[in-house]
A and B are shown apart, each in its own frame.
Chain A
Amino acid sequence: MVHLKINEGAQSFDGDPDMPLLWYLRDILGLTGTKFGCGMALCGACTVLDAGKAIRSCSTKMSTVDGHAITTIEGISANGPHTVQKAWEEVNVPQCGYCQPGQIMQTISLLTSTPHPSDDDIDEQMAGNICRCGTYQRIRAAIHQAAKETA
């Protein structure tokens, strides 16, 4: 039995311990904001926070998250939109939007470790998150905007 916290709520799971966290979130809990993109930690669509740090849920087995505190896109805005979400709206980042929850979660993690990232910091830390619509320059602008707001 795996015990963990999802968005501060206690959960337990006794299914296949090999099941990736992604499919537990999506299929078992119905938290579909976290997306499936590649299944191999290559695209970042499935990014969630584990104790505040970005991880790829598609390649994180349930057996490895016992006792962990996971935050998904559904859990970041209990008090209205998160600063990063607001910046995303101000810069009008999304096109299709499918990758954006992953981009936003990765950004929250980035700004926690690097509150004032340079363009190079952003390129490096966001390179694992693919956006096929090509919203990268707006993502970069929105990250700078969120960093300013957080300061």
Chain B
Amino acid sequence: MTPTEMFTQQIETKGTHVERALLPASRRHFLQGIFSASAFVLCARVLPRPLHAAAFSTTTELVPSIDSAPFHPGVYLGIQTDGTVLIVAHRSEMGNGVRTSLPRILADELDADWSRVQVIQADGDQKFGNQDTDGSHSVRDFFDPLREAGATARVMLIRAAAQQWGVPESQCVADPVHFVTEKNSARKLGYGELAAAAAKLPVPKKEELKFKSPQEWRYIGKPAPGYDIAAVCSGKPRFGMDVRVDGMLYAAVAHPPVLGGKVKSVDDSAALKVKGVSKTLPIAPFTPPHAFQPLGGVAVIADNTWSAFKGRKALKIDWDNGANASYNSDQYQKQLRETSRQPGKVVTTVGDVDAQFVKGGVVHEADYYAPLLAHASMEPPVAVADVRGNQVTVWAPTQDPIALRTEVAKELGLTKEDVICHVTFLGGGFGRKSKPDFAVEAALLSKQTGKPVKVVWSREDDIQFDYFHAVAAMYIKAALDGHSNDQGKDHGKPKAWLQRSTFPPIESTFVKDAQYGSAGEMGLGWTAIPFDVPNFRSENGPATAHVRIGWLRSVANIYHAFAVQTFANELAYLAQRDPGEYLIDLIGPARHIEAGKDPDTDAKYPFDTARLRHVAELAMEKSSWGKKKSGNGWGQGLAIHRSFLTYVATVVEVEVDSSGAVTIPRVTTALDAGIVVNPEMVRQQFEGAAVFGTSAARGEITATNGIINQSNFNNYPVARMNDAPKHVDVHIVESAAPPAGVGEPGVPPFAPALCNAIYAATGKRIRELPISRNGFS
């Protein structure tokens, strides 16, 4: 029996065992009363359970596994005889709403009653397909497979009913919800009653399936609250931080202050005197490239988190900081800017920009800069690992449980199959929790102590030892058309556009000394621009990383959109045109952009400028663009960007006082993400993206002698209630196009729209982030 099957939880209420999940949903609210009573004792125990009886529970509820249901065609669905429909959410819940959106896709095609659906969080297992919850592709990748799973089960239930009644299948329909009815007699059987019979039928081929038409959808496209909302508002979900396993030890790790640093010597005598601390253990430095390996250092083992933190503070470590101690952000910025002014590696060429530049005329050029950023998800990295011989169980708030299993196995000299990964709720992720280094620390320490170990990162660990969003310098040069004489429609449009971007690439995390961006990074807003420009060249310059570089919500789109959308705004003013109308002209005629395609783009998702233009016009209309004159400390700014296959336009409205303090009364975002599964959650994602964008425009990570200068929310400020946008209005374009991403695409246009608004309000151009570098706050 594996630990997965063994792990479960019981809730003891004054000696009464309440197996909550086995009760219907309507009973859950009632039970909250019992659960919340002050006298209860919450007790997590490892109990022997029958094979496959229970899956990992993300709340304190007992959760059955799919395989324990009598009818479970495929990996995503199980139906119990009481009619409970179990649906797997195989991707990670971190506020992205996948525990609601994915199961609702399946439930829709199944014609299941949503109130009788129980969502099961999947362990890391390749049978579910890709589980790496980043890149905004949960819905777009699994829309079809989950519909297929639902349609498969529906036809089997219908066939089971038809057999039972001895009537043709065509006489039976899945109606009302959760029942199969015979059309002529109105006889009906519930899904639970049919489960056992359906299980005996062969699974139909895909060609036999009948999919519902969009008009028949009951959940897709309809707003719904989060599946877990009641639990979340009661503090019940188990985040990684909340996992407790019997006999568990707690650990805090003193990491080398500089990437690649090593311990020269350590004096742990004071640490060992701290009450609760039992021992210290070394963690070996990584072998470059660092990838997902732990950073190394010294771990303090204790019987609670606080003692581990206190013990770590008492360690006296002499570090060898290594080569990256030469890294200073000011100097590095100069290098990046200089590199961006030199010819780089060509990414895309259309026409001949050089020939156009030689012709002379009006030329405009500008440099842009955006700093390193930290993820700072509210839940810092944390993981529990239990290593027993060759069997490893990890509980972690991970975005990528397969990467976690692979990395833990590699570091322990095991195979991936030896490692079980239970995915907890994630207190935010934003890309940080795709990297399992912190879980590997827990596994290494569990192996050494022979006990389950929980590694807890402090906020300081989280900010200083992040996989940072890259710092970047960009240079753009354009030759303009008819600037001085023609006041017609194309007035001031560029005939040639050259852009060059330089940043330490994500590749540097996986390939030692990598200096150039991957096709993936360049595809995030740099291989192509959505503008009608006959001559275009995009380049990438080299940069060496001195900190770990990772991906953060929308990744390279952040700095690329900042440069391109600010530059376009500059061109509008140069042409003395309304920046909104000018941008619409720049997008130009309706067409599919073929050159320098986004790697995600294929026949299913062409880059369609008509859709981009539509969201721009919608955002302008809904924001009352141009109705009020900008200036005197008030202004509107617009930016557009397509990322993760979704078209977004954002108008930011600002008020700037005489001290440079910026407030954001309103943000208006229009988006076209194709078919939207849950519009309510799409709105939430875009509301949140405006706040995230505000933080990105105000935040900055810097290093001195290789050591990160920021450490907590006092010196790495993120948006708060009183400085976030006051209202974010989100407008979703109705579309029949295939579903696209929604978690990330709201972020890239925000900073340029904000900076364009500040320009409209004050006449001061921001080409360097954070905005504080330009006298604003």
Residues of B within 8 A of A76 (CB): 36
User: How distant is the Cα of A75 from the Cα of B32 in the complex, in angstroms?
Assistant: 11
Report yes or no: B305 in contact with A26, Cβ–Cβ below 8 A: yes
B458 touches A37 (CB 8 A): no
Q: Which of B84-120 contact A (CB under 8 A)?
A: 93-97
Q: Flag if A36 contacts B721 (CB, 8 Å).
A: no
* B59 CB → nearest A CB, Å: 11
Q: Tell me whether B378 is interfacial, beta carbon within 8 Å.
A: yes
Q: How far is the CB of B156 from chain A (nearest CB, A)?
A: 34
- Within 8 Å CB of A79, what residues of B? 33
- In the complex, what distance in Å separates the CA atom of A3 from the CA atom of B199? 58
Known: A89-B230, A96-B95. A40 touches B714 (CB 8 A): yes
A-contacting residues, B643-673, CB 8 Å: none
- Whether B32 contacts A81 by the Cβ 8 Å rule is yes
Q: Output the least CB separation between A144 and chain B (Å).
A: 13
B42 to A30, Cβ gap below 8 A?
yes
Give A14-28 interface residues, CB cut-off 8 Å to B: 15-16, 18-20, 23, 26-28
Please give, as numbers and ranges, the residues of chain A lying within 8 Å of B29 by CB-CB distance.
80-81
Residues of B within 8 A of A89 (CB): 225, 229-230, 233
Contact of A92 among B94, B226, B429 (CB under 8 A): B226
Say whether A94 contacts B232, CB under 8 Å. yes
> Which residues from chain B contact A136 at a C-beta distance below 8 Å?
691, 719-721, 724
Once the chains bind, are A133 and B428 in contact (CB under 8 Å)?
A: yes
Task: Mark out the residues of chain A between 116 and 145 whose CB falls within 8 Å of any chain B CB in the assembled complex.
Answer: 119, 122-124, 126-140
Is there contact, CB below 8 Å, between A95 and B722? no
- Contact string against A for B residues 720-737, beta-carbon threshold 8 Å, 1 for contact and 0 otherwise: 111011111000000000
Instruction: Flag if B378 contacts A99 (CB, 8 Å).
Output: yes
B26 at the interface (CB under 8 A from A): no
Q: Are A98 and B233 in contact (CB under 8 A)?
A: no
B713 beta carbon closer than 8 Å to chain A = yes
Q: How far is the CA of A81 from the CA of B241 in the complex (A)?
A: 24
Give the Cβ gap from B691 to chain A, nearest Cβ, in Å. Answer: 3
- Asked whether B247 is an interface residue with its Cβ less than 8 Å from the other chain, the reply is no
The minimal Cβ–Cβ distance linking B650 to chain A, given in whole angstroms, is: 14
> How far is it, in angstroms, between the C-alpha of A76 and the C-alpha of B230 when the chains are bound?
14
| Pair B305/A38 contact, Cβ less than 8 Å | no
Task: Determine the distance from Cα of A27 to Cα of B275 in the docked complex, in whole angstroms.
Answer: 15
- The stretch among B627-635, B680-688, B762-770 that forms the contact with chain A is B680-688
Q: CB-CB contacts of B219-234 with A at 8 A, as 1s and 0s?
A: 0000001101110111
CB distance from A134 to the nearest CB of B (A): 3
Whether A133 contacts B95 by the Cβ 8 Å rule is: yes
Judge whether B718 is part of the interface by a CB distance below 8 angstroms: yes
B690 at the binding interface (Cβ < 8 Å): yes
- List A residues 68-103 near B (Cβ within 8 Å): 72-81, 85, 88-89, 92-101
**Whole-angstrom CA separation of A89 from B44 in the bound complex:** 28
Quick one: which of B379-419 are within 8 Å of A by CB?
379-380
> When the two chains form their complex, are residues B38 and A130 in contact, meaning their CB atoms are under 8 A apart?
no
**B427 and A35 form a contact (CB under 8 A):** yes
- B residues less than 8 Å from A28 (CB atoms): 304
Q: Known interface pairs A7-B38, A35-B427, A101-B235. Does A137 touch B378 (Cβ–Cβ under 8 Å)? A: no
The complex places the Cα of A80 from the Cα of B427 at a distance, in Å, of 25
Expressed in whole angstroms, the minimum distance between the Cβ of B683 and any Cβ of chain A is 9
Q: Does B728 contact A137, Cβ atoms closer than 8 Å?
A: yes
Contact between B459 and A97 (Cβ–Cβ < 8 Å)? Answer: no
Q: Is A78 touching B236 in the complex (CB atoms < 8 A)?
A: no
A4 to chain B, nearest CB (A): 13
- Shortest CB distance B685–A (Å): 8
Which residue, A31, A33, A34, A92, has most C-beta atoms of chain B within 10 A? Answer: A92
**Interface status of A42 (Cβ within 8 A of chain B):** yes
- The closest CB in chain B to the CB of A139 belongs to B721
B721 in contact with A138 (CB, 8 Å): no
**Contact in complex: A132, B232 (CB < 8 Å):** no
B344 within 8 Å of A (CB atoms): no
User: Which residues of B are found within 8 Å of A75, using beta-carbon distances?
Assistant: 36, 38
Determine whether B250 belongs to the interface, using a CB cutoff of 8 Å to chain A.
yes
Whether B33 and A35, one on each chain, are in contact in the complex, defined by CB atoms closer than 8 angstroms, is no
Q: B15-37 toward A: CB 8 Å interface, digit per residue (1/0)?
A: 00000000000000100110111
Which residues on A sit within 8 Å (CB–CB) of B35?
74
Partner of B721 from the list A39, A73, A127 (CB cut-off 8 Å) is A127
> Is A55 interfacial (CB-CB < 8 Å)?
no
Cα A72 to Cα B234 with chains together (Å): 10
Which chain A residue shows the least CB distance to B378? A98
> Bound complex: CA of A7 vs CA of B40, how far in Å?
10
Give CA–CA (A101, B427) in the complex, Å.
Answer: 12
| Nearest chain A CB to B380 CB, angstrom units | 7
A131 with B38: CB separation less than 8 A: no
Q: A16-B276, A23-B304 known; 10 other A-B pairs, CB under 8 Å?
A: A7-B38, A16-B307, A33-B235, A36-B241, A38-B459, A39-B712, A43-B459, A80-B33, A123-B721, A127-B720
- Report the 4 A-B pairs with minimum CB-CB distance, sorted nearest first: A33-B235, A134-B691, A98-B427, A95-B95
What are 21 residue pairs bridging A and B, where the CB atoms are less than 8 Å apart in the complex?
Answer: A20-B306, A23-B306, A33-B235, A37-B379, A39-B460, A43-B459, A75-B36, A75-B38, A77-B32, A78-B37, A81-B230, A81-B234, A94-B233, A95-B95, A95-B97, A97-B425, A98-B378, A123-B722, A132-B695, A136-B719, A140-B721
